[in-house]
A and B are shown apart, each in its own frame.
Chain A
Amino acid sequence: MPDLLEIRSLAKHFGGVVATDEVSLEVRAGEVHALIGPNGAGKTTLVAQISGSLAPDAGSIIFDGRDVTRLAQHQRVRAGLARSYQITSIFRRSSVIENLALAVQARSGSSLGFWQPVASESGLVDEARLIAAEIGLSDRADIAGGELAHGEQRALEMGLALATRPRLLLLDEPMAGMGPEESQRIIGLIERVRRSVSVVLVEHDMDAVFRLADRISVLVNGRVIATGVPDEIRANEEVRRAYLGDEALSA
C-alpha cells in the first residue's frame, strides 16, 4: 500500500519543553492508524501539526505526495485532510443540518457570495442530510448542536470532519468522556467510514484501539518509540515498559 501521509522528523518546542521530537511516521492509504501514548506524550500537538493549526519548528509533512508543511489549515482541508477535536467543537447554536451544510459549503465553491441566500442552494442541504444519515443523526437534524446529547455531539463532531469529504481523517480522542454504549456508537461509525477514508486515531480506550487499528504508533515524550500491527505493539517490550508500565514486564 502506498503512503497517504508521510511525516518526516517533525519537531516542536514550547519554550524549553519538547512537545514532538523528530517524529517520523507513515500512514498508508486505507488504514486506520492509531496513535497511543501517555498523557503529555505529544499526541494532540502532533495532530495539530498535521492538521495545520500549529506550525512545526522543523521537519516536513507530505500528504498524497505533496509537501503540505507550509500550507494553512484550510488549504489542507481542501487537499483532503480533516480533523475532529478532543473537546467537542461544533457550532452549538446552529442545527445539525446547518452545521453540516456549512462544512459542505466550505468545500463546494467560493463562499464570497454576498447576495444569494444560502437557503436557495438545495445542494448544500441535500448533501448535509446524507451526512446526517451517515452519522446517525437524521432524526435530530433540526436540533441545535448545543442541545444534543453528549454522544450525539461527538457524532456531529466527526460528521463535520466527514462533510469536508476528506481522504484522511484525524480523530483526536473521539470517545473522550463517553459511556460504553455511546463509545460503541462511535466505534461503529469509524468501522463504517474506514471503508472510504484513511484514519489517524488518537485514543486512550485500548479496547477500541486494538479493535479498530490496522497499525499502531506509540508516542512517548514526543518520540515515536514503535510502530506496528497490534500484536507487534502488544509484544514490544519497550512499549510495555514506557507506556503500559514497568509492571507489565512481570505480569
Chain B
Amino acid sequence: MNARAAALIAALAAAVAFPLAMQAADQLFFVGFASRVLIWAIAASSLNLVLGYGGMISFGHAAFVGTGAYVSGILIAGGVTSAWIGWPAAILASAVLALAIGAASLRTRGAYFIMITLAFAQMMYYLMNSMKAYGGDEGLSLTSRAALGFGLDLGNEVTFYYVVLAALCALLYATHRLAHARFGRVIAAIRENETRAEAIGFPVYRYKLICFVIAGAAGGLAGALLASHGKYVSPSLLHWTQSGTLMIMVILGGVGRLWGGALGAVLLLALEHLIAEHPIPWLLAIAPNYPQHANLGVGIVMLVIVLYAPQGLAGLVSRKRHA
C-alpha cells in the first residue's frame, strides 16, 4: 500500500468516525455542521468539474445549486418526499438549466462568457424571487427532509451525514474515472488548447456543453441535499455572490485537482466557523469586533492566494512535495 492510499483510507476512516465521536460527546450540532460542509464540498467539486477540468470560467454555478434545491424543496412541500424522485428530479432540472445556459453562453468567449453566466444566474435569482407560489423572496420552509426508505431516517443527523458523505465520495470517484476516461482527456485537451482540439476533429462546443451540463447536474444534487439539510430554500442560494463563494472554495482548494473543491469547502467553512466562534484573545484585545469581520480575512487571504499562489493550497503543498 502506498502512502497515497494510506492517507486516503485514513481520511475516509476519520470522516466515518467523526459523527460517532460527536454523538458520543453530545455535540450533534457539529454533525449537522459537517453535513453542510460536505454538501458545499459537493457543490464546489461540481464547479471544479467545469472550472478546473473544463477550463470554463462559469460564474453562475449557484444557479444550478439553487435550482436543485428549489426543485427538491418544491416537491417535498408538495408532498412528494421520496428522495428517489426528488433528487433525480433536482439533478435533471439543473442539467436542463445548464443545457440552456451553456448552449447560449458557450457561444461566447473570455470576459463575455464570465459575464453572461453571471447574468443568467442572476436572472434565476430574480425569477425565484418573484415566484410567489414558491415563497418568493420569503423562501420556502419545508416540514421534513426527503425520505430515503430502507429504514434510513434522514431526519437523523448522523444518517444524513453518512448519505451526504456517500454522495461526495461517489461524485469524487466518478470525477476521477471521468478524468481518466476518453471524455476527460478531451476536456483536458480543450482546456489546454481549444483551437488544436477542434483542429484534430473534436466537436469542442459539444464537449464543453456536456461538461457544463454534468457539472450543473452535480450542482443540482448538492442543492437537493442542501434543501433537505436546512429544510429551507431561499433565493439567496442563487445570488451571484454565492457563485463567487463557490469559486473561492475551488481556488482555495486547487483548481482542476480532484480534491480541490472538497478541500476548499472544508477550509473556507471551517475557517469561517473558527474565526466567528473561537476568537484569538490577543487579536480580540486589539480589535474587539474582529470575529464579525471574518470576510475581511477571507478577502485578504483570497487576494494573496490569487496574487502569489494561483494553484491554490493544494498547489502549494504539491509544489513543496516536488521540490
Contacts and interface: CB of A to CB of B under 8 A. Distances in A.
A and B touch in the complex (CB under 8 A): yes
Interface of A: 51, 53, 72-75, 77-78, 82-83, 85, 89-94, 102-103, 105-107, 110-119, 121, 160-161, 163-164
B200 A118 contact: no
Interface in B212-264: none
Interface stretch (B67-75, B201-209, B265-273, B306-314): B201-209
Report whether over half of chain B's contact residues are helix, strand or loop; otherwise say mixed. helix
A114 B217 CA distance: 15
Nearest to B183: A114
Interface stretch (B81-89, B95-103, B148-156, B187-195): B187-195
Given A114-B177, A114-B183, A115-B178, A74 B198 contact: yes
A198 B193 CA distance: 26
Given A89-B193, A91-B196, A111-B186, A118 B180 contact: yes
A74 B195 CA distance: 11
A89 B199 contact: yes
Contact of A117 (B181, B202, B203): B181
A51 B199 contact: yes
Given A73-B198, A163-B200, A94 B192 contact: yes
B199 A77 contact: yes
B185 A102 contact: yes
Nearest to A102: B189
B199 A111 contact: no
Contact of B203 (A74, A91, A93, A119): A74
Contacts of B192: 91-94
A217 to B, nearest CB: 22
B4 interface: no
Contacts of A164: 200-201
Given A117-B180, A118-B180, A111 B207 contact: yes
B238 to A, nearest CB: 28
A114 B202 contact: no
A53 B194 CA distance: 12
6 contacts: A106-B201, A107-B201, A111-B185, A117-B180, A118-B181, A118-B184
Q: Classify chain B: how many residues form its interface, as a range.
A: 20 to 34
The 9 A-B residue pairs with the shortest CB-CB distance, nearest first, are: A77-B201, A113-B182, A106-B201, A103-B200, A117-B180, A89-B196, A111-B182, A74-B203, A106-B200
Given A93-B192, A117-B180, A112 B210 contact: yes
B198 A91 contact: no
B273 to A, nearest CB: 36
B201 A74 contact: yes
B23 to A, nearest CB: 36
A188 B184 CA distance: 35
Interface centre among B196, B198, B210 (most CB of A within 10 A): B196
Contacts of A116: 181-182
A113 B185 CA distance: 10
A123 B197 CA distance: 20
Nearest to B176: A117
A111 B183 CA distance: 5
B180 A111 contact: no
Contacts of B178: 114-115
A161 B200 CA distance: 6
Contacts of B204: 74
A117 B173 CA distance: 13
B196 to A, nearest CB: 5
Interface string B279-299: 000000000000000000000
B198 A53 contact: yes
Contacts of A93: 192
